[in-house]
Amino acid sequence: MKQKHTTLIEETGITLATGTLAKHANGAVTIALGETTVFVAATVANALRPGQDFFPLTVDYREKFAAAGRFPGGYFKREGRPSEKEILTCRLTDRPLRPLFPKGFLNEVQVAGMLLSTDSENEPDILMINGASAALAISDIPWDGPIAAIRLGEINGEFVVNPTIEQQYESTLDLIYVGTETEMLMIEGSADQIPEERFVEALEFAQGAIQPIIKAIKDLADQAGKPKREFELVRAKPEVMDIVRREAPAKLAEAVFQDNRREREQSVSVVIEETTKTIERELGEDGFEEHDVAIAFEEVQEDVYRSNILEQGKRVDGRGPLDLREIGSDVGLLPRVHGSALFYRGETQALCMTTLAATRESQSLDALTGGATTKSFILHYNFPHYSVGETGRMMGPGRREIGHGALAERSLLAVIPAEDIFPYSIRVTSEIMESNGSTSMASICGGCLSLMDAGVPIIAPVAGISVGLVSARNESGEIDRYKTLTDILGAEDHFGDMDFKLAGTSEGITGFQLDLKIRGLPMSIAREAVFQARDARLKILNIMLETLAEPRKEMNRYAPRITTIQIDPEKIGALIGPGGKNIRRISELSGTTIDISDDDTGKVMIYSNNKDAMDKAVAEVELISAEIVPDKIYRGVVRSVKEFGCFVEVLPGKEGLVHISELADFRVNKTEDVAKLGDEMWVKCIGIDERGRVRLSRKAALEEMEAAKSES
Closest CA to 488 of 536, 539, 546: 536
pLDDT score of 600 more than 80: no
What distances in angstroms separate CA 369 from CA 69, 116, 168, 178, 377, one per listed residue? 11, 11, 14, 22, 21
Q: Is the dihedral of CA 566, 571, 573, 575 positive or negative?
A: negative
Enter the pTM of the model: 0.89
Distance, CA of 232 to CA of 324 (rounded, Å): 43
Spell out the SS3 assignment of 20-34.
Answer: CCCCCCCEEEEEEEC
Question: What CATH number is given for 238-312 in this structure?
Answer: 1.10.10.400
- Whether 364 shows a pLDDT value over 90: the answer reads no
Answer whether residue 151 shows pLDDT above 90: yes
Is 80 exceeded by the pLDDT of residue 619?
A: yes
Contacts of 286 (CB under 8 A, 6+ apart): none
CATH topology of domain 633-711: OB fold (Dihydrolipoamide Acetyltransferase, E2P) (2.40.50)
Rounded to 5 degrees, φ, ψ at 585 are: -60, -45
Question: Phi-psi bin for 563: left (phi > 0), alpha (psi -120 to 50), beta?
Answer: beta
Provide CATH code, domain 5-224: 3.30.230.70
| pLDDT for the residue numbered 403 | 96
d(CA 269, CA 290): 14
Residue 1's pLDDT band, with cuts at 50, 70 and 90, is: low
Of residues 70 and 2, more confidence is placed in: 70
Q: State how far the alpha carbon of 525 is from the alpha carbons of 311, 497, 507, 623, in Å.
A: 18, 12, 22, 66
* Domain spanning 561-625, CATH architecture: 2-Layer Sandwich (3.30)
Report the alpha-carbon distance of residue 122 to residue 605 in Å, rounded.
35
38 neighbors 113 (Cβ within 8 angstroms) = yes
- What is the distance between the alpha carbons of residues 366 and 83, in angstroms, rounded to a whole number? 9
Dihedral sign from CA coordinates of 488, 461, 174, 165: negative
Rounded Cα–Cα distance for residues 109 and 131 (Å):
15
| Distances, alpha carbon 572 to alpha carbons 144, 349, 455, 603, 621, in Å | 62, 48, 30, 9, 10
Q: How many CB atoms lie within 10 A of CB 203?
A: 21
Domain 327-547 has CATH 1.10.3720.10: no
Whether omega before 146 lies within 30 degrees of 0, making that bond cis, reads yes
Per-residue pLDDT tens over the stretch 622-638: 887 788 889 999 999 99
Q: Do the domains spanning 5-224 and 327-547 agree at the CATH topology level?
A: yes
CB contact at 8 A, 5 and 223? yes
**Residue 96: pLDDT above 70?**
yes
Main-chain dihedrals φ then ψ at residue 551, nearest 5 degrees: -60, 145
Hey, is 587 helix, strand or coil?
A: helix
Give me the residue spans of the domains in the chain. 5-224, 238-312, 327-547, 561-625, 633-711
- Contact (Cβ atoms closer than 8 angstroms) between residue 352 and residue 445: no
Q: Encode pLDDT of 416-437 as tens digits.
A: 999 889 999 999 999 999 999 8
d(CA 63, CA 186): 23
Asked if pLDDT for residue 84 goes beyond 90, the answer is yes
